[in-house]
Amino acid sequence: MRTTTSVLLVLALAAAGADADARPPQAWVTVSGQVVLPPDVPLPVPKLLPNGAADESILVDAKTRGVKNVVVWLRSDDQNPKSKLAPADIHPADAKRLPRAQLIRFTPLLTFEPRVLNTRVGDTLIVQNQAQVPANFFWTSGNNGNINAVIPAGQFFRGPAALAAESPPIGYKSNAVPEAVGYLRVFEHPYHAATDAEGKFELHDAPVGKYRLVYWHEKVGFKDGAKGRFGIPVEITRDTVAFPPLAFDVTK
Protein backbone atom coordinates (compact mmCIF):
# COMPACT_ATOMS: atom_id res chain seq x y z
CA MET A 1 0.00 0.00 0.00
CA ARG A 2 2.83 2.35 0.89
CA THR A 3 4.50 1.57 -2.43
CA THR A 4 1.33 2.39 -4.34
CA THR A 5 0.89 5.63 -2.41
CA SER A 6 4.50 6.64 -3.06
CA VAL A 7 4.14 5.96 -6.76
CA LEU A 8 0.97 8.03 -6.95
CA LEU A 9 2.65 10.86 -5.08
CA VAL A 10 5.61 10.86 -7.48
CA LEU A 11 3.27 10.87 -10.49
CA ALA A 12 1.26 13.73 -9.02
CA LEU A 13 4.37 15.80 -8.41
CA ALA A 14 5.63 15.09 -11.93
CA ALA A 15 2.30 16.15 -13.39
CA ALA A 16 2.35 19.35 -11.36
CA GLY A 17 5.86 20.10 -12.60
CA ALA A 18 4.81 19.46 -16.18
CA ASP A 19 1.87 21.83 -15.79
CA ALA A 20 4.17 24.50 -14.35
CA ASP A 21 6.45 24.23 -17.39
CA ALA A 22 3.54 24.17 -19.84
CA ARG A 23 3.20 27.95 -19.99
CA PRO A 24 0.53 29.35 -22.31
CA PRO A 25 1.86 30.11 -25.81
CA GLN A 26 2.96 33.65 -26.54
CA ALA A 27 0.31 35.74 -28.25
CA TRP A 28 1.24 37.59 -31.44
CA VAL A 29 -0.56 40.63 -32.76
CA THR A 30 -0.27 43.39 -35.34
CA VAL A 31 0.77 46.73 -33.88
CA SER A 32 -0.21 49.80 -35.89
CA GLY A 33 0.17 53.51 -35.38
CA GLN A 34 0.71 56.86 -37.01
CA VAL A 35 3.24 59.67 -36.62
CA VAL A 36 1.90 63.17 -37.17
CA LEU A 37 3.21 66.71 -37.09
CA PRO A 38 1.90 68.55 -33.98
CA PRO A 39 -1.16 70.72 -34.72
CA ASP A 40 0.63 73.94 -33.73
CA VAL A 41 3.55 73.37 -36.11
CA PRO A 42 3.17 74.88 -39.61
CA LEU A 43 3.30 72.47 -42.51
CA PRO A 44 6.70 72.59 -44.20
CA VAL A 45 6.79 74.41 -47.52
CA PRO A 46 7.88 72.08 -50.37
CA LYS A 47 11.26 73.05 -51.81
CA LEU A 48 13.27 72.13 -54.87
CA LEU A 49 16.90 71.14 -54.62
CA PRO A 50 19.60 72.51 -56.94
CA ASN A 51 19.39 69.35 -59.04
CA GLY A 52 15.67 70.02 -59.66
CA ALA A 53 14.39 67.21 -57.44
CA ALA A 54 12.01 67.76 -54.53
CA ASP A 55 13.52 68.10 -51.07
CA GLU A 56 12.45 64.91 -49.28
CA SER A 57 14.18 65.51 -45.96
CA ILE A 58 10.80 66.37 -44.38
CA LEU A 59 7.67 64.92 -45.96
CA VAL A 60 4.32 65.70 -44.33
CA ASP A 61 0.91 64.81 -45.78
CA ALA A 62 -1.12 68.02 -45.95
CA LYS A 63 -4.43 66.25 -45.25
CA THR A 64 -3.50 63.92 -42.39
CA ARG A 65 -0.34 65.72 -41.17
CA GLY A 66 1.29 62.30 -41.24
CA VAL A 67 5.11 62.31 -41.33
CA LYS A 68 6.81 59.99 -43.81
CA ASN A 69 10.10 58.14 -43.25
CA VAL A 70 10.01 58.00 -39.47
CA VAL A 71 11.69 54.74 -38.44
CA VAL A 72 9.77 52.95 -35.68
CA TRP A 73 10.96 49.85 -33.86
CA LEU A 74 10.27 47.71 -30.80
CA ARG A 75 12.75 47.29 -27.98
CA SER A 76 12.81 45.83 -24.48
CA ASP A 77 11.16 47.74 -21.62
CA ASP A 78 14.28 49.13 -19.95
CA GLN A 79 16.93 51.82 -20.27
CA ASN A 80 19.89 49.57 -20.95
CA PRO A 81 21.37 50.63 -24.32
CA LYS A 82 22.70 47.09 -24.84
CA SER A 83 19.36 45.34 -24.28
CA LYS A 84 18.02 43.10 -27.01
CA LEU A 85 14.71 41.37 -27.51
CA ALA A 86 14.83 37.86 -26.11
CA PRO A 87 14.43 34.85 -28.44
CA ALA A 88 11.00 34.23 -26.87
CA ASP A 89 9.94 37.71 -28.05
CA ILE A 90 10.45 36.80 -31.71
CA HIS A 91 7.67 35.03 -33.60
CA PRO A 92 8.72 31.42 -34.39
CA ALA A 93 8.04 31.89 -38.11
CA ASP A 94 10.85 34.44 -38.27
CA ALA A 95 13.36 31.61 -37.88
CA LYS A 96 12.48 30.58 -41.46
CA ARG A 97 13.25 33.99 -42.91
CA LEU A 98 15.97 33.88 -45.55
CA PRO A 99 18.37 36.78 -46.21
CA ARG A 100 17.11 39.15 -48.88
CA ALA A 101 18.71 41.37 -51.48
CA GLN A 102 17.78 44.98 -50.65
CA LEU A 103 17.71 47.45 -53.55
CA ILE A 104 18.69 51.11 -53.54
CA ARG A 105 18.15 53.01 -56.80
CA PHE A 106 20.02 56.08 -58.01
CA THR A 107 17.17 57.65 -59.97
CA PRO A 108 17.15 59.72 -63.18
CA LEU A 109 16.51 62.74 -60.90
CA LEU A 110 19.89 62.04 -59.28
CA THR A 111 18.43 61.05 -55.91
CA PHE A 112 18.51 57.81 -53.95
CA GLU A 113 15.31 55.79 -53.58
CA PRO A 114 14.33 54.75 -51.01
CA ARG A 115 15.57 57.55 -48.85
CA VAL A 116 15.12 55.40 -45.73
CA LEU A 117 15.68 51.65 -45.88
CA ASN A 118 15.28 49.11 -43.07
CA THR A 119 17.13 45.82 -43.45
CA ARG A 120 17.97 42.73 -41.40
CA VAL A 121 21.22 41.15 -40.36
CA GLY A 122 22.44 38.90 -43.18
CA ASP A 123 20.68 40.80 -45.97
CA THR A 124 22.69 41.90 -49.00
CA LEU A 125 22.68 45.26 -50.75
CA ILE A 126 22.37 46.13 -54.43
CA VAL A 127 22.67 49.70 -55.70
CA GLN A 128 21.25 50.28 -59.19
CA ASN A 129 22.15 53.32 -61.27
CA GLN A 130 19.06 54.29 -63.28
CA ALA A 131 20.52 57.63 -64.33
CA GLN A 132 22.19 58.41 -67.65
CA VAL A 133 25.43 59.40 -65.94
CA PRO A 134 27.83 57.53 -63.64
CA ALA A 135 26.76 57.41 -60.01
CA ASN A 136 28.82 57.51 -56.86
CA PHE A 137 27.71 55.52 -53.78
CA PHE A 138 29.48 56.36 -50.54
CA TRP A 139 29.15 55.44 -46.89
CA THR A 140 31.22 55.00 -43.76
CA SER A 141 30.06 52.66 -41.02
CA GLY A 142 31.17 51.03 -37.83
CA ASN A 143 30.30 47.41 -38.57
CA ASN A 144 29.71 47.34 -42.33
CA GLY A 145 32.91 48.82 -43.68
CA ASN A 146 33.44 51.84 -45.90
CA ILE A 147 32.17 52.10 -49.47
CA ASN A 148 33.13 54.52 -52.22
CA ALA A 149 31.95 52.97 -55.47
CA VAL A 150 31.48 54.46 -58.94
CA ILE A 151 28.57 52.80 -60.77
CA PRO A 152 28.36 53.26 -64.56
CA ALA A 153 25.02 54.33 -66.04
CA GLY A 154 22.57 51.43 -66.09
CA GLN A 155 24.82 49.19 -63.99
CA PHE A 156 24.69 47.67 -60.49
CA PHE A 157 26.94 47.68 -57.47
CA ARG A 158 26.79 44.87 -54.92
CA GLY A 159 27.54 45.94 -51.37
CA PRO A 160 28.68 43.91 -48.36
CA ALA A 161 28.07 40.18 -48.71
CA ALA A 162 26.01 40.14 -45.53
CA LEU A 163 24.95 43.18 -43.51
CA ALA A 164 26.00 43.16 -39.87
CA ALA A 165 24.02 44.58 -36.97
CA GLU A 166 24.57 48.28 -36.49
CA SER A 167 22.90 50.48 -33.90
CA PRO A 168 23.18 53.92 -35.54
CA PRO A 169 21.82 54.57 -39.04
CA ILE A 170 24.27 54.28 -41.93
CA GLY A 171 24.06 57.41 -44.03
CA TYR A 172 24.68 56.91 -47.74
CA LYS A 173 25.24 59.62 -50.32
CA SER A 174 26.74 60.64 -53.62
CA ASN A 175 29.89 62.73 -53.35
CA ALA A 176 29.15 64.19 -56.78
CA VAL A 177 25.51 65.08 -56.01
CA PRO A 178 25.25 66.45 -52.44
CA GLU A 179 21.44 66.33 -52.56
CA ALA A 180 21.46 62.56 -53.08
CA VAL A 181 21.38 61.07 -49.58
CA GLY A 182 19.69 58.24 -47.73
CA TYR A 183 19.75 56.24 -44.50
CA LEU A 184 19.99 52.52 -43.90
CA ARG A 185 19.29 50.69 -40.65
CA VAL A 186 20.20 47.08 -39.91
CA PHE A 187 18.02 45.29 -37.34
CA GLU A 188 18.41 41.99 -35.53
CA HIS A 189 14.64 41.44 -35.25
CA PRO A 190 11.54 41.85 -37.46
CA TYR A 191 9.74 44.56 -35.48
CA HIS A 192 10.61 47.72 -37.37
CA ALA A 193 9.03 49.91 -40.04
CA ALA A 194 9.35 53.22 -41.84
CA THR A 195 6.18 55.31 -41.88
CA ASP A 196 4.35 55.68 -45.19
CA ALA A 197 3.13 58.86 -46.92
CA GLU A 198 0.39 59.29 -44.27
CA GLY A 199 2.72 58.58 -41.37
CA LYS A 200 1.30 55.10 -40.77
CA PHE A 201 3.17 51.95 -39.81
CA GLU A 202 2.51 48.33 -38.88
CA LEU A 203 4.57 45.79 -36.96
CA HIS A 204 3.35 42.28 -37.69
CA ASP A 205 3.39 39.31 -35.30
CA ALA A 206 4.58 41.45 -32.40
CA PRO A 207 4.69 39.82 -28.95
CA VAL A 208 2.19 40.58 -26.20
CA GLY A 209 3.68 42.29 -23.16
CA LYS A 210 5.37 45.48 -22.01
CA TYR A 211 7.90 46.93 -24.42
CA ARG A 212 8.99 50.28 -25.82
CA LEU A 213 8.57 51.91 -29.22
CA VAL A 214 11.44 54.00 -30.55
CA TYR A 215 10.88 56.77 -33.10
CA TRP A 216 13.69 58.26 -35.21
CA HIS A 217 13.77 60.80 -38.04
CA GLU A 218 16.75 61.91 -40.08
CA LYS A 219 16.33 65.64 -39.34
CA VAL A 220 16.05 65.53 -35.55
CA GLY A 221 17.10 62.06 -34.45
CA PHE A 222 15.09 60.40 -31.69
CA LYS A 223 11.69 61.51 -30.51
CA ASP A 224 12.33 63.33 -27.18
CA GLY A 225 16.04 63.75 -27.89
CA ALA A 226 18.81 61.59 -26.48
CA LYS A 227 16.58 59.88 -23.92
CA GLY A 228 14.32 58.87 -26.79
CA ARG A 229 16.78 56.15 -27.77
CA PHE A 230 15.12 54.07 -25.04
CA GLY A 231 11.70 54.61 -26.58
CA ILE A 232 8.22 55.19 -25.22
CA PRO A 233 6.72 52.51 -22.89
CA VAL A 234 3.82 50.62 -24.45
CA GLU A 235 1.76 47.60 -23.51
CA ILE A 236 0.79 45.26 -26.31
CA THR A 237 -2.41 43.35 -25.56
CA ARG A 238 -3.85 40.20 -27.07
CA ASP A 239 -6.11 42.22 -29.34
CA THR A 240 -4.70 43.87 -32.43
CA VAL A 241 -3.21 47.11 -31.12
CA ALA A 242 -3.79 50.45 -32.77
CA PHE A 243 -1.94 53.14 -30.85
CA PRO A 244 -3.17 56.75 -30.95
CA PRO A 245 -1.35 59.09 -33.36
CA LEU A 246 1.98 60.24 -31.96
CA ALA A 247 2.91 63.92 -32.38
CA PHE A 248 6.52 64.32 -33.48
CA ASP A 249 7.97 67.69 -34.53
CA VAL A 250 10.56 66.81 -37.16
CA THR A 251 11.02 70.41 -38.30
CA LYS A 252 13.29 71.62 -35.48
Quick: pLDDT tens for 15-67. Answer: 444 343 333 567 999 999 999 999 999 999 989 988 888 999 999 999 999 99
Structure pTM?
Answer: 0.88
pLDDT of residue 24: 52
CATH (residue range 26-247): 2.60.40.420
Q: Which residues contact 145 (CB under 8 A, 6 or more apart)?
A: 160
Q: Which residues contact 9 (CB under 8 A, 6 or more apart)?
A: none
With a cut of 70, list the residues of the chain below it in pLDDT.
1-25
User: Where in the chain are the domains?
Assistant: 26-247
Terminal Cα distance for the chain, rounded: 81
Instruction: Please give the share of the chain, as a percent, with pLDDT higher than 70.
Output: 90
pLDDT of residue 25: 60
- From the list 176, 169, 101, the residue with the least C-alpha distance to 131 is 176
Is the previous residue joined to 114 through a cis bond, with omega within 30 degrees of 0? yes
Instruction: Quote the CA–CA distance of 109 and 127 in Å, as a whole number.
Output: 15
